[in-house]
């Protein structure tokens, strides 16, 4: 069925509920209420806030990849990490695991910083800031991309939609048949619809759509595809590990684990752990589920992750957790996105239940 243009429009301005959260946070910030909210909340809750980032970089007008993955500019990220260092207790995954295993309890106002995928701006931009400010972070990497240097498939799809020359975008398996807008911003908005619908398909269906789109555009992914969409290298990851960062797993090929067959799932997890162990000298203790929504992991995935020696697992579902044995493989995170300014970021940390982004539900084909 053709995609309703109203759905496309919904991916433009932020939804009203999000705007209300932002306005409320900014008022609390302006009225100097956030320290009080943080203190009061800390009296009643002792939990773990986990911040989820993807990319830290400037976004020029000609940037032609998924803008939604750019979590912050370098300046904004520095300000966020400085506030975190001054007002909270940054912790590592090892501290979380130790607390779960009966060791020292996490400090009050504990915050864990995480990054997904493994883009090279994590090394070039985020790592120097984290190291300078003394904030630990965990970088969840898709090992196949670290090995081969290829762009991430979903981001390459976004790139093709933004840059393709066709007059129409016709993706029948996604129920999409629309004129392609000439405006770059409108195309970026459309990529959100495409990617949501793509992720609704099973793994075989996703790969078929990706392959077909690449073939029709005549632009397959290669290791030298584009400088704006490169993964890190093992040498860079080793330097980050030696600089106090932790490296975790994110699968091999960034595939939605719950949508894989048993054999493919086992390979994705075991080969990820094997490459991390071989390149970094020790098994990884933490993994985040690619895409990370409710349809990206399940009990079968958690069993495979546990069997390969990972000690904790992270979703991309918004919220905070009190880590225990019932949720150590289902830990929630709070997404940081590029529209989060200083006041809103401080509000998100002070009272995430009030101010953080709600989890976005996927748009299903009808």
Contact 329, 302 (CB under 8 A): yes
- pLDDT at residue 362 in the model: 60
Structure tokens at 231: 């993964």
Predicted local confidence at residue 356, as pLDDT:
85
Give residue 61's pLDDT.
Answer: 87
d(CA 300, CA 281): 28
Q: What is the pLDDT of residue 361?
A: 59
Whole-number pLDDT of residue 202:
95
* CA 80 and chain centroid, separation: 17
Distance CA(53)–CA(265), nearest Å, equals: 25
Can you give the pLDDT at residue 223? 81
| Distances 248 to 60, 252, 334 between C-alpha atoms, Å | 30, 12, 18
pLDDT at position 358 is: 74
Which helix (H) or strand (E) is 294 found in, with range? Answer: none
55 has which bridge partners? 70
| Tokens linked to 149 | 């240097």
Low-confidence ranges of the chain (pLDDT < 50): 1-14, 363-366
Q: How far apart are CA 83 and CA 75, in angstroms?
A: 13
Helices and strands of the chain, counted as H and E runs: 16, 12
* Residue pair 90/108 in contact by the 8 Å Cβ criterion: no
Which two structure tokens, joined as six digits, stand for 93? Answer: 């995954």
In the numeric block, the tokens 């090279």 are attached to 120
19: phi then psi, degrees, rounded to nearest 5: -60, -35
Q: What's this model's pTM, rounded to 2 decimal places?
A: 0.92
SS3 20: helix
Q: What are phi and psi of 245, to 5 degrees?
A: -90, 160
């Amino acid at each position: 069925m053709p995609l309703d243009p109203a759905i496309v429009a919904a991916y433009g301005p932020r939804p009203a509920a999000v705007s209300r959260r932002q306005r409320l946070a900014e008022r609390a910030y302006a009225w100097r209420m956030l320290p009080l909210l943080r203190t009061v909340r800390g009296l009643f809750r002792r939990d773990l806030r986990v911040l989820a980032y993807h990319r830290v970089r400037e976004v020029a007008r000609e940037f032609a990849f998924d803008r939604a993955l750019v979590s912050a500019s370098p300046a904004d990220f520095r300000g966020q990490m400085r506030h975190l260092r001054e007002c909270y207790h940054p912790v590592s995954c090892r501290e979380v695991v130790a607390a779960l295993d009966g060791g020292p309890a996490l400090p009050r106002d504990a915050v864990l910083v995480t990054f997904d995928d493994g883009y090279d701006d994590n090394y070039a931009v985020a790592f120097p800031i984290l190291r300078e400010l003394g904030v630990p972070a965990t970088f969840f990497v898709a090992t196949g991309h670290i090995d081969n240097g290829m762009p991430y498939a979903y981001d390459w799809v976004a790139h093709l939609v933004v840059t393709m020359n066709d007059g129409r975008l016709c993706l029948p398996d996604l129920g999409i048949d629309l004129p392609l807008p000439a405006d770059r911003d409108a195309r970026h908005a459309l990529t959100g619809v495409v990617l949501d619908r793509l992720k609704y398909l099973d793994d075989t269906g996703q790969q078929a759509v990706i392959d077909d789109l690449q073939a029709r555009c005549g632009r397959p992914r290669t290791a030298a595809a584009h400088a704006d969409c490169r993964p890190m290298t093992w040498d860079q990851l080793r330097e980050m590990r030696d600089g106090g960062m932790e490296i975790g797993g994110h699968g091999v090929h960034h595939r939605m684990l719950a949508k894989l067959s048993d054999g493919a799932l086992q390979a994705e997890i075991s080969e990820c752990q094997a490459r991390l162990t071989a390149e970094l000298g020790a098994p990884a203790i933490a993994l985040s589920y690619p895409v990370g929504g409710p349809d990206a992991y399940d009990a079968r995935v958690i069993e495979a992750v546990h069997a390969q020696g990972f000690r904790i697992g992270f979703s991309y579902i918004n919220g905070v957790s009190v880590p225990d044995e019932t949720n150590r493989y289902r830990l929630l995170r709070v997404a940081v996105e590029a529209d989060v300014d200083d006041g809103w970021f401080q509000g998100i940390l002070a009272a995430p239940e009030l101010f953080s982004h709600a989890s976005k539900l996927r748009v299903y084909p009808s």
